[in-house]
Each structure stands twice: as C-alpha cells, then as structure tokens.
C-alpha cells in the first residue's frame, strides 16, 4: 500500500512537471535602444540587447517574453518567426518607466543630405518609394510632380529621389525629429512563417508604408499561423492599414488607431473566429472591415473617420460572409470625406461607403445593441448585395442626412440588380429587424434597388416589427418603399405590410442632442420600456442582463445611473475629438 502511494506521488509530480515545464524553461529578454548591446545575453534589464535585428535573428521558445524599453524608438521591422503554444504564447511587450511613451517601432527613416536645386526646392537620394513623408510629425502633402512643389511640406518621390518644398535648409528647419520618409512596409509582420500563438502588446506603432501599399502596420497574413493577440497598442500616422489580420482565432483588443491611410483593421477573407473588441478608432480612412467568417466586432468606439464605420463584404463569386456578431459598438461622425465622395467616378463610389454599418453578402449574422449616429451623408445600417437571414435588433440609429435603416435588394451594380461579375440577382431577404429606435434621419427606412428583372418579392420576406420609427424634429419622412415616400407610420404600414406592431413616438431619452452630453438611456416614462420582443439576446449595450420583455433601444435600464458597470467600462457621452 505504501509502495502504491509512493508511485502515485511520483506520477503526480511528473504530471505537474509536464504542465509547468514550458513556463519553467521560458526566458525573458530585454531590448534597450539607448544603452543595450547585441553582444549581451539580453536576459536582464542590466544586460539588454540593442536592436530589433538581434531579436529577428534569435529563435524563441513557447512562453518566452521579449520586452522593449519604454521611451525608446526603433527604426527597424520586427519579423516574428518563432511560435508559442496555446497555453504558453510568445509575448512581445514593454518594460520600464510606465510614465514614458510605449516603446515605438517606427517604419520611417529620417532623411538628410538635402541639396537645393532651385529656390526653395530640395532633393535627396532615396531608393525606396515612401507612401508618406512627415515634417516634424506632421504629414506632408504629396503632389504630382516636382514642378508642383509650391507650399511648405509639399513632397514628391520620383526616380529614387525625394523632392520637397522648404523655405530654408530642411535639416535646420525640421529638427523634432526631422523629415521622415516611410521606408518599411510594416512595423511588425510574420515573416512568411508558421508562427502561431503570439502576443503583441503595449507598443507605439508609427510611420510605416513603403514598397507595397496594401499592407498592415502589424501584418499577420503571409505565414500559416493562427492565434495572434494584438492589444493595448497605439497606431498613429501609418501610411497603410493599421492591422491586417488573416490568422484564425486571433484578437485585436483595446488599441487606439488614428490617421491610418487605408483604414484601422481588416479581417481578411481567410480569417475565421477572430475578435475585434474595445478599440478606439478615429481620424482614420475607415474603421473596421471584415471579409471573414465568425468574426466578433464588439465594444469599439469608431468615429470621425473618412469613410465607413464598419464594413462587411466578400469577393464577388465567393460564398457570403457568415456568423458575424456586430454588437455594442458606438459608431458616430464617420463619412467625413463625403464631399470628396461626391467627386468620385461612379465605379469608385460603389466600393466606398459612408455608412455607420454596411454589409454586402453577409448571412446568418447579428447586428445588435449598437449606438449609431451622425454618420455624415451615409446610412446608419445598410444591408446590401444579398445579405440574408440576419438579425438587426436593439440598435439606436439617428442623425443621418440620408436613411437610418436601409435594405438594398440588388448587387454591386444597382442599375440592373445583378452581380456585375456573375450576373446573379442578389436579394437581401429574410432579415429580422426588431427593437430598434430610429429617428432624426432623412428617411427612417428605405427599400432600394427593387428590380423587376430579378423577380424578387421586394421587401416582404424581411420582418420589420416592434421598432420605434419616429421622424423626430430633424427628420424628413418615415420611409421610402422603392417607389414613393411615406410621411406617417400608418401610410408605411398600409403600403408595405411592415411595422404592424411598431410605434412612432419620442423615445424620451435622458438626452439625445449630440451637440451636448448625449445620454441615450431611457427615461422612466419612455414608451420604449418593455415595448420590445424577445430575439434571444442576453446582455444590453452596457453588459447588463436582459430579463422579462426587453426594451427597445440599447439599454435595459430606465436611467443611466442604474446601469451596472460592464466588464469593460462604456461611456455614452459624445467626446469632442478633432479631425486631424
């Protein structure tokens, strides 16, 4: 009996050793751009490495951490070629004084050796074409030819030469940090390797964008990996996409994105099961784009961007995107580039959206508990290109100069109601729209693209009900049914057979004026309280549980003071972000 007990203890010790061995063998490495040395062992803050190149040349094991010193800047490209395990990822992060800036990986080089070849016109040799040039951190203005260099910070790259306009010697005029030209396609990428189970956290990512325009500042798509987590990073002034995400089961969490040239986040078509949560995206080209399946886009604040807030799409002729969850996002003041949009040729307008949420060919997905307002001349929620079998519930959509909720029943070529490549009619059918509050839009609902040649049954297969459809003091009408406008809910019901259990009344928010401190929770006397219908949702915008009959709108509480703090704090106040 004693021998049996002894061997059981030995087995237990061996089992625990096998579980903890990867962590026990893991190392922590330190990188210091100021006082490090690549001949050091890198295993302590007193003996750090110096360069990213040293990191790139080193093989790492599961559980290893590679930490970069806060306050330092590296003008190199971090190439990840090692992989962790699900329980022991490889972590690239930060160490040092937390009052300093996050460690910065910068995709640009400072350029010098300027020669004046005409008055106020300067040139220097530069072999790699940049997609942007910064003058003391302010983006320059790219012109068409050096003949067009007429104003301060104008620039053009031609034939391995960078030309700028500057009244005065550039290296003397621009010193903080100087004139920077993007010279690397990304700041961090996967190196075409199978590098799964990687965490990138607490970095400042800036000024990449060269060689290839359609790339990410953090780009994980060229290898065969999965499970990358990118969190708590700040993306600023990147001349590409912020994050290009192909790997399955990955996460982009709690980052900030500002002034990204091609948009903040793209979940690629091959991506399945990734999450995009808790990011703040503003003053970018666009917000979140997804071509993948099973993507969760939640709790993001997406605002003051040039084009769309959230866009879901797929390539023509491929299966529709499916299984997405777009929930609890605050999406406002997007479509800032609407005046430029008006000047685009029609074939470019089709691929450029101004909407809060736009979907093309999205099936079996959920759009719920989103707060969507004031998205310039775009729509609030826009289902297009044969989006089918989706649930759109408990959203607030207001303040759009165009339509609040819109269901298109045509393809990309709206004129003939067919997909421009396959010739197939694409009808947005069998969608459920419930518990939404829609008001103060040009029209509250619109059915567009109805084409007899597609033999479609218009909008009748969709289920619009239990919504509050209210024109409000700034709106123009209840809806457009494809042939005419309707000014009242009764007229809309008679013409369409939709919204038979809906209401049209002031929702009585605490405050709904975005020019003030808006609070879109409901007053106790709101007609929207307990006026919704069960669509299977579990928590509201704030993370509060749903019990009994749900309210219309985003909150189950009748007062913002009654909302329990969610796992991730949310604010419904409207911040005053400048569009830089």
Lowest mean pLDDT, pick from 290-294, 379-383, 527-531, 575-579: 575-579
Task: Name the DSSP letter for residue 39.
Answer: T
Query: What are the b/e assignments for 489-509, b being 16+ CB within 10 Å?
Result: bebbbeebebbeebbbeebeb
Whether residue 496 has pLDDT greater than 90: no
Do residues 277 and 296 lie in contact, with contact meaning Cβ atoms separated by under 8 Å? yes
Confidence band, pLDDT 50/70/90 cuts, at residue 2: very low
Non-local (6+) Cβ contacts of 169 within 8 A are: 114, 116
Most confident by average pLDDT, 3-12, 291-300, 385-394, 466-475 = 291-300
Chain center to CA of 531: 32
Nearest in space to 205 (alpha carbons), one of 167, 153, 258, 159 = 258
Lowest-confidence pick of 82-96, 172-186, 440-454: 440-454
How confident is the model over 437-450, as a mean pLDDT? 81
- The set of residues, in sequence order, having a beta carbon less than 8 Å from that of 275 and lying 6+ positions away, is 250, 251, 252, 253, 295, 296, 297, 298
State the maximum Cα–Cα separation within the chain, in Å, rounded to a whole number: 97
H-assigned helices in 26-144:
52-56
Q: Which residues pair with 371 in a beta bridge?
A: 330, 396
Q: What is the pLDDT of residues 198-209, one digit of tens each?
A: 999 999 999 998
Of the chain, the percentage scoring pLDDT greater than 70 comes to 81
**All residues at 6 or more sequence positions from 7 whose CB lies less than 8 Å from its CB, including other chains:** none
**Given this model, what pLDDT does residue 221 score?**
75
Domains belonging to the chain, first-starting first, are 2-102 (no CATH), 108-181 (no CATH), 263-562 (2.160.20)
Total Cβ atoms within 10 A of residue 439 = 25
User: What residues form DSSP beta bridges with 116?
Assistant: 122
Q: Can you read off the two tokens belonging to residue 229? A: 């987590």
Instruction: Summarize pLDDT for 386-408 with one digit per residue, the tens.
Output: 888 999 999 999 988 766 664 44
């Amino acid at each position: 009996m004693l021998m049996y007990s002894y061997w059981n203890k030995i087995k237990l010790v061996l089992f625990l050793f096998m579980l903890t061995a990867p962590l026990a063998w893991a190392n922590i490495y330190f990188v210091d751009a100021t006082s490090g040395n690549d001949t050091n062992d890198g295993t302590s803050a007193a003996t750090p490495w110096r360069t990213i190149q040293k990191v790139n040349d080193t093989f790492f094991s599961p559980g290893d951490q590679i930490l970069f010193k806060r306050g330092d800047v590296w003008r190199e490209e971090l190439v990840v070629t090692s992989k962790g395990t699900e329980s022991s990822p490889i972590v690239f992060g930060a160490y040092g004084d937390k009052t300093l800036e996050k460690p910065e990986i910068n995709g640009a080089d400072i350029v010098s050796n300027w020669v004046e070849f005409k008055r106020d016109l300067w040139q220097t040799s530069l072999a790699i074409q940049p997609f942007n040039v910064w003058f003391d951190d302010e983006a320059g203005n790219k012109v068409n030819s050096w003949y067009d260099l007429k104003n301060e910070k104008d620039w053009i790259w031609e034939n391995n030469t960078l030309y700028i306009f500057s009244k005065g010697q550039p290296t003397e005029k621009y010193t903080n940090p100087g004139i920077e030209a993007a010279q690397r396609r990304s700041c961090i990428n996967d190196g075409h390797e199978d590098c799964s189970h990687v965490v990138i956290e607490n970095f400042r990512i800036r000024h990449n964008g060269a060689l290839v325009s359609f790339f990410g500042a953090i780009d994980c798509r060229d290898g065969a990996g999965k499970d990358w987590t990118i969190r708590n990073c700040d993306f600023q002034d990147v001349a590409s996409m912020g994050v290009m995400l192909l790997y399955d089961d990955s996460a982009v969490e709690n980052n900030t994105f500002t002034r990204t040239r091609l948009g903040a986040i793209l979940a690629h078509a091959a991506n399945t099961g990734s999450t995009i949560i808790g990011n703040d995206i503003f003053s970018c080209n666009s917000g979140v784009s997804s071509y993948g399946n099973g993507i969760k886009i939640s709790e993001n604040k997406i605002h003051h961007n040039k084009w769309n807030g959230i866009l879901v799409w797929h390539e023509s002729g491929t299966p529709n995107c499916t299984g997405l969850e777009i929930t609890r996002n605050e999406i406002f003041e997007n479509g800032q580039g609407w005046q430029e949009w008006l000047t685009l040729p029609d074939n470019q307008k089709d691929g450029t959206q101004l909407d809060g949420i736009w979907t093309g060919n999205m099936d079996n997905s959920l759009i719920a508990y989103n707060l969507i307002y004031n998205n310039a001349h775009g729509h609030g929620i826009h289902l297009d290109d044969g989006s089918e079998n989706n649930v759109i519930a408990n959203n607030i959509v207001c303040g759009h100069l165009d339509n609040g909720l819109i269901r298109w029943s045509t393809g990309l070529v709206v004129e003939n109601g067919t997909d421009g490549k396959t010739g197939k009619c694409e009808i947005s059918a069998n969608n459920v729209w419930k518990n939404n509050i829609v008001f103060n839009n040009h029209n509250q609902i619109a059915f567009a693209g109805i084409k007899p040649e597609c033999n479609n049954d218009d909008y009748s297969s969709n289920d619009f009900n239990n919504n509050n459809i209210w024109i409000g003091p700034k709106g123009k009408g209840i809806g457009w049914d494809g042939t005419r406008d309707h000014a009242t809910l009764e007229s809309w019901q008679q013409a369409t057979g939709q919204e038979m259990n809906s209401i049209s009344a002031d929702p009585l928010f605490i405050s709904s004026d975005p020019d003030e401190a808006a609070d879109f929770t409901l007053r106790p006397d709101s007609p929207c309280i307990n006026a919704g219908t069960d669509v299977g949702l579990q928590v509201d915008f704030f993370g509060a549980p749903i019990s009994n009959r749900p309210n219309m709108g985003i909150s189950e509480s009748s007062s913002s003071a009654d909302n329990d703090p969610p796992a991730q704090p949310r604010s419904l106040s409207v911040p005053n972000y400048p569009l830089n």
